[in-house]
Amino acid sequence: MKNAVSVAAGGSRRAGLSRPGPVLALAVALALAGLGTWSSPARAGLFDDEEARKAILDLRRSIDQNQQESQRQHAARQAEYTEQLNLLKRSLLDLNNQLEQLRGELAKLRGQEEQTGNATRDVARDVAELQRRQKDTLAALEERLRRLEPQKVSLDGREVVVESIEKKSYDEAITTLRKGEFARAADALQGFQQRFPASAYGGHVQYWLGNAQYGKGDVKAAAVTFRALVSGSPEHPRAAEALLALANCQVELKDAKAARRTLEELVKSYPNSDAAVAGKERLAQLK
């Protein structure tokens, strides 16, 4: 017993251990426990330093193997964890890429929707503008058609129907005459006669043509025109005035005799007219 204790103590010093480790203490405990069944001196001598050292070395190898296995398993788990982490990272990266792609597609769809909305507003604006132009065009066309339609006009208390272009031409010629542009007025009135020979304005055009010719100095032509009016339309409201104008032309032409006959005709044919009153005064002057 004393020998076994000293062996254990001496083995620890040889191994350089200041304190026995748990494994060495276990080996010693096992050795001491074994001594209880080995009571004889011969068996006690079998536990020498070499066997103890061998047991320790075996224990260390076992521990090293366990540590290596543990390290291997730890490294394997670490590699597995690393692989799983990398896999998770790749999955997160893929997911992030998919999210970015979805964001891009969503932005694209929003842009298309905005473009579609803008296009719809543009079309609506164009349609509204087209409708406005169409309305203006129809209004202008209706106005033109209205102007082309026959119109009722009043001539010396009589209501007659004339074409729109006919009334327009007559009004333009009379406007020119009122401006004192006698030559242009004469041309316009003669043009009217050729264009509208059966016009209700006929007698009036002839009367004003005589005045235009007289105004521009063509007294002979004016006399012919006034006479033509009285001969062709003796019932015309301007016939009496035409005779008075004819007499003035004849005076201008130094034909007092002809002027006197014309004034007498006026007084006789249209005694109740204002022209007849003026004609009487002229007759008195001529005598």
Contact 251, 283 (CB under 8 A): no
- Looking at residues 98-123, what average pLDDT do you find? 86
Contact 216, 186 (CB under 8 A): yes
pLDDT tens digits along 44-57: 555 577 888 888 88
pLDDT at 1: 41
Mean pLDDT of the chain: 83
User: Among 113-127, 191-205, 267-281, which is the least confidently predicted range?
Assistant: 113-127
Which amino acid belongs to residue 1?
M
Residue with tokens 């008195």: 284
Q: How far apart are the C-alpha atoms of 79 and 90, rounded to whole Å? A: 16
Contact 237, 257 (CB under 8 A): no
Q: How far apart are the C-alpha atoms of 190 and 209, rounded to whole Å? A: 7
Q: Is the pLDDT of residue 142 over 50?
A: yes
Top-confidence range, 11-25, 124-138, 196-210? 196-210
The model's confidence at residue 3, banded by pLDDT at 50, 70 and 90, is: very low
Based on C-alpha coordinates, what's the Rg of the chain?
A: 70
pLDDT at 27: 52
Q: Is the pLDDT of residue 261 over 90?
A: yes
Entry field: residues in the chain: 287
pLDDT tens digits along 159-195: 888 888 899 999 999 999 999 999 999 999 999 999 9
- Looking at residues 266-287, what average pLDDT do you find? 93
- The two tokens of residue 102 are 């979805």
pLDDT at 30: 52
Extract long-range pairs of 34-37: CB within 8 Å, 24+ residues apart.
35/1, 35/4
Q: What are phi and psi of 240, to 5 degrees?
A: -65, -45
pLDDT at 118: 85
Q: Is the pLDDT of residue 218 over 70?
A: yes
- The two tokens of residue 158 are 């009589």
pLDDT at 185: 97
